[in-house]
């Protein structure tokens, strides 16, 4: 608790400093440019690539210039012809995204005004574009509205400001809020009760250039190019869409950058299609709204509230995963709000703040970990296994009383007849013998990933599966036991060369759930395993004497071993205080002997005395004088002599072996 408290203030200070730096960076233009690109990416991914608005865009494009053979601006009688065609076809509304502010000739203006009057009289609304011009003076900046010709307005044409407010990269993302905008006038012409002001803050693009049904302007003029009634019930928007016509090079081209260029789409987006998008947003109510700024702050505070305690208590890898999950979660939340709720929550600030806080706290944690590592390694490396030292350094919280439940494989060793042997040796020789013995066995345990718990006189206790996870702990423990027995011959030769007696070792193994951790007092504790599984492993070590084996393991351990480790079934035993029998095994390379032993034991368990007797005798033929088979033959004769119906169990009490 004190260690955690000592790291809290530095970690919090580093996190707050990181937030200040991110906040300062968010005020710059490069930051906003990155936010714009995120908006463009979401737009490119979320756009439905279609519109439910029954609209047709008549584009004044390169083919139109080639067909009409007219310079820009076109004669207004040409627009009058177009308007007559749309009225005859039964269009729902017409919007000219062209500012007709300057007079041409009386004949041309009159022809267009007459067409507008005829259209409005027939119930076809006509909306013309107006504009706003900035006028600079010595004392102020004034905006002047540039309206269509009075004659056109008098003929019944409505007008609306077609101006938009592109961002620095010339992409239009914000929806015009003025009640008199071009799209607002069109919406009210189609639906008189439509709201005058936009309910959305940002443009919800339907798709890249060409998403709306787009035809060339000239196609509506030339008979037969579009079928009669093609425009019936549709909103028709007319505007410039040329990209290279020399006529438009001398005028301001009505083109903007497209947000769909973020994923490699076409870079330019015509203003007339932008007006169609704004009209679609108004009529469908699907425009995007800005999420409250407090949401971003709430996400930052949530990230701080999660990262700060995690950084103090969790493994660095887990904290990194949490930070990555938070960053991904913020991006996903922003995307889902954009896609499902029509909300734009800029993810860059909370994502960058989360990453910066994690980086700052990771640096503080790294510095603290280095300091703890040096102190811990110096203190404990002389007393506990290297694996435990590494675990304590990685997880300082383990340096307290208590533990965790784990499945492990336990190993106990003991030297046969060591008490009698030590009586014949001097104290110095006994210590020398044990030093050589433990010095030969400990490296084998460590090499296989095991942890040596303790030395108890001439006994060694070890386990696999803690403190480090090991999915193959049973296999590693059994292979270590086999390797330890194999090393005994070389060890005994070394003992003889020193004038010491040869020794024999017995090993017991069992797999089960235990509590692994630090046990003791606050002043002194040790890393150990506690539980019934520990007692059974120790009992199996002692039972080797009854079976004449060097290694004895339980069925729980045997069940986890691969097929490559051959085992011989020896007997079934019952542990004191338990009712279920435990079958015990020993490693055996003789496949025939393993098969004979298993068959004889199975016959014994089902009271097939004849088959069991034949089986045990077959084992004795393969392994003359085998203690396990001899013991079972004796128990078989006793069982045969029991009266019918007498209680009997094929298992023998382990404490009687």
pLDDT at 375: 63
Mark whether 282 and 304 lie in a shared domain.
no
Q: What is the mean pLDDT of residues 218-245?
A: 88
Q: Kindly report the length of the chain.
A: 657
- pLDDT(209) > 90: yes
Last residue of a domain, one of 378, 393, 424: 378
- Output the CA angle 539-542-548, nearest 5 degrees: 130
Where does 157-231 have alpha helices with state H?
182-190
Q: Is 315 helix (H, G, I), strand (E, B) or coil?
A: coil
Mark whether 654 and 556 lie in a shared domain.
no
Domain membership flag for residue 582: no
Instruction: List, in sequence order, every residue forming a beta bridge with 367; answer none if it has no partner.
Output: none
Mark whether 457 and 554 lie in a shared domain.
yes
CA distance 16 to 7: 14
Structure tokens at 97: 């995204």
Domain membership flag for residue 386: no
Mark whether 222 and 274 lie in a shared domain.
yes
Domain membership flag for residue 388: no
Mark whether 22 and 170 lie in a shared domain.
no
Mark whether 73 and 151 lie in a shared domain.
yes
Q: Which CATH number covers residue 490?
A: 3.30.70.1230
CA distance 557 to 161: 83
Q: Measuring CA to CA, which residue among 622, 573, 613, 630 is closest to residue 594?
A: 622
CA distance 535 to 502: 28
Burial zone of 233 (CB within 10 Å; 0-12 exposed, 13-18 middle, 19+ buried): exposed
**Sequential DSSP letters for 149-178:** PHHHHHTT-EEEE------TTSB--BPP--
Mean pLDDT of the chain: 88
Phi, psi angles (nearest 5°) of residue 464: -120, 140
**Cβ pair 325, 341 in contact under 8 A:** no
Domain membership flag for residue 347: yes
CA distance 254 to 238: 12
CA distance 187 to 92: 11
* First-to-last C-alpha distance (Å) of the chain: 49
- Among 4-18, 99-113, 169-183, 268-282, which is the least confidently predicted range? 4-18
- pLDDT(260) > 90: yes
Mark whether 188 and 62 lie in a shared domain.
yes
CA distance 259 to 265: 8
Q: What is the mean pLDDT of residues 618-627?
A: 93
Could you report the per-residue pLDDT of 116-147, keeping only the tens digit for each?
999 999 999 999 999 988 766 656 667 788 99
Domain range for 613: 591-657
| Number of domains the chain contains | 4
**Cβ pair 239, 270 in contact under 8 A:** yes
Domain membership flag for residue 571: no
Evaluated on CA atoms 136, 139, 143, 149, the torsion sign reads negative
CA distance 627 to 550: 13
- pLDDT(396) > 80: no
Domain membership flag for residue 517: yes
Q: Measuring CA to CA, which residue among 108, 53, 45 is closest to residue 76?
A: 108
Q: Is 293 helix (H, G, I), strand (E, B) or coil?
A: helix
Question: How many CB atoms lie under 10 A from the CB of residue 31?
Answer: 17
Burial zone of 656 (CB within 10 Å; 0-12 exposed, 13-18 middle, 19+ buried): exposed
Structure tokens at 95: 């919007």
Work out the pLDDT band at 382, boundaries 50, 70, 90.
very low
CA distance 5 to 13: 13
Q: Is 462 helix (H, G, I), strand (E, B) or coil?
A: strand
- pLDDT(653) > 50: yes
Domain membership flag for residue 336: yes
pLDDT at 49: 92
Structure tokens at 562: 């691969």
The reported pTM is 0.56
Work out the pLDDT band at 2, boundaries 50, 70, 90.
very low
CA distance 258 to 122: 37
pLDDT at 401: 53
Structure tokens at 608: 């097939």
Question: How many CB atoms lie under 10 A from the CB of residue 560?
Answer: 16
- Among 132-146, 319-333, 482-496, which is the least confidently predicted range? 132-146
Q: What is the mean pLDDT of residues 411-418?
A: 93
Tokens 């004769």 map to which residue?
637
Q: How many CA atoms lie within 13 A of 405 on its CB side?
A: 3
The alpha carbons of the chain give a radius of gyration, in whole angstroms, of 44
pLDDT at 226: 94
- pLDDT(246) > 60: no
pLDDT at 389: 66
State the greatest distance between any 2 C-alpha atoms of the chain, in Å, as a whole number: 134
Work out the pLDDT band at 569, boundaries 50, 70, 90.
very high
pLDDT at 386: 63
**DSSP 8-state assignment for residue 121:** H
Mark whether 52 and 155 lie in a shared domain.
yes
Compute CA 443 distance to the chain's CA centroid, rounded to the nearest angstrom: 40
Work out the pLDDT band at 556, boundaries 50, 70, 90.
very high
Q: What is the mean pLDDT of residues 602-617?
A: 93
Compute CA 109 distance to the chain's CA centroid, rounded to the nearest angstrom: 65
Question: How many CB atoms lie under 10 A from the CB of residue 526?
Answer: 13
Q: For residues 605, 560, 511 and 558, what is the CA-based torsion angle, rounded to 10 degrees? A: 40
Domain membership flag for residue 119: yes
Q: What is the mean pLDDT of residues 57-65?
A: 93
Mark whether 283 and 140 lie in a shared domain.
yes
- pLDDT(637) > 50: yes
Q: Is 460 helix (H, G, I), strand (E, B) or coil?
A: strand
Evaluated on CA atoms 73, 74, 77, 78, the torsion sign reads negative
pLDDT at 179: 78
Work out the pLDDT band at 152, boundaries 50, 70, 90.
very high
**Cβ pair 462, 451 in contact under 8 A:** yes
Mark whether 456 and 515 lie in a shared domain.
yes
Mark whether 167 and 187 lie in a shared domain.
yes
Phi, psi angles (nearest 5°) of residue 307: -75, -35
Mark whether 446 and 542 lie in a shared domain.
yes
Q: What is the mean pLDDT of residues 618-632?
A: 93
């Amino acid at each position: 608790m004190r260690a955690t408290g000592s790291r809290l203030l530095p970690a919090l200070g580093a996190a707050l400093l990181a937030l200040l730096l991110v906040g300062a960076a968010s005020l710059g233009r490069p930051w906003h440019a990155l936010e714009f690109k995120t908006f463009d990416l979401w737009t490119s991914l979320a756009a439905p690539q279609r519109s439910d608005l029954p609209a047709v865009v008549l584009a004044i494009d390169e083919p139109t210039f080639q067909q009409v053979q007219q310079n820009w601006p076109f004669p207004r009688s040409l627009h009058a012809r177009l308007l007559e065609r749309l009225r005859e076809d039964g269009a729902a509304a017409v919007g000219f995204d062209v500012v007709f502010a300057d007079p041409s000739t009386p004949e041309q203006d009159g022809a267009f005004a007459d067409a507008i009057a005829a259209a409005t009289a027939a119930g076809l609304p006509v909306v013309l574009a107006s504009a706003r011009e900035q006028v600079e003076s010595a004392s102020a900046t004034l905006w002047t509205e540039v309206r269509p010709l009075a004659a056109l307005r008098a003929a019944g044409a409505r007008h609306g400001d077609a101006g938009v407010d592109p961002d620095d990269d010339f992409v239009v993302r914000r929806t015009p809020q003025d009640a008199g905008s071009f799209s607002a006038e069109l919406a009210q012409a189609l639906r008189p009760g439509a709201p005058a002001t936009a309910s959305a803050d940002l443009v919800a693009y339907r798709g890249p250039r060409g998403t709306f049904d787009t035809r060339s302007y000239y196609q509506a003029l030339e008979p037969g190019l579009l079928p009669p009634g093609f425009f019936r019930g549709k909103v028709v928007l007319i505007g410039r869409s040329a990209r290279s016509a020399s006529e438009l090079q001398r005028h301001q081209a009505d083109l903007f950058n497209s947000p769909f260029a973020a994923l490699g789409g076409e870079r330019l987006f015509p203003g007339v299609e932008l007006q169609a998008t704004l009209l679609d947003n108004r009529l469908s109510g699907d425009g995007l709204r800005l999420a409250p700024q407090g949401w971003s702050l709430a996400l930052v505070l949530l990230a701080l509230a999660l990262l700060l305690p995690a950084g103090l208590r969790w493994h660095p890898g887990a904290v990194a995963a949490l930070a990555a999950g938070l960053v991904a979660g913020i991006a996903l939340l922003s995307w889902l709000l954009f896609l499902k709720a029509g909300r734009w929550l800029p993810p860059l600030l909370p994502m960058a703040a989360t990453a910066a806080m994690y980086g700052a706290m990771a640096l503080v944690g790294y510095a603290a970990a280095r300091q703890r590592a040096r102190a811990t390694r110096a203190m404990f490396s002389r007393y506990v296994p290297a694996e435990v030292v590494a675990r304590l350094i990685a997880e300082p919280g383990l340096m307290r009383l208590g533990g965790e439940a784990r499945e492990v494989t336990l190993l106990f060793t003991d030297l046969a007849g060591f008490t009698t042997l030590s009586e014949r040796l001097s104290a110095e020789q006994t210590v020398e013998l044990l030093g050589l013995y433990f010095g030969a066995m400990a490296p084998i345990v460590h090499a296989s990933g095991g942890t040596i718990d303790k030395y108890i006189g001439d006994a060694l206790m070890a386990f696999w599966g803690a403190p480090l996870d090991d999915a193959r702990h049973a296999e590693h423990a059994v292979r270590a036991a086999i390797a330890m027995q194999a090393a005994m011959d070389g060890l005994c030769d070394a003992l003889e060369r020193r004038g010491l007696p040869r020794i024999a070792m017995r090993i017991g193994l069992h797999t089960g759930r235990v509590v692994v951790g630090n046990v003791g007092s606050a002043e002194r504790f040790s890393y150990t395993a506690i539980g019934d599984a520990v007692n059974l492993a120790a009992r199996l070590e002692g039972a080797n004497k009854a079976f004449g084996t060097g290694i004895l393991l339980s069925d729980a351990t045997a069940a986890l071993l691969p097929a490559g480790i051959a085992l011989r079934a020896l007997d079934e035993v019952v542990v004191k205080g338990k009712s279920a029998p435990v079958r015990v095994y020993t490693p055996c390379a003789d496949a025939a002997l393993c098969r004979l032993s298993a068959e004889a034991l199975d016959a014994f368990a089902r009271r097939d005395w004849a088959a069991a007797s034949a089986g045990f005798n077959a084992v004795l033929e393969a392994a003359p004088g085998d203690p396990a088979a001899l013991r079972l033959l004796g128990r078989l004769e006793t069982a045969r002599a029991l009266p019918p119906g007498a209680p009997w169990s094929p298992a023998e009490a382990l404490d009687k072996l």
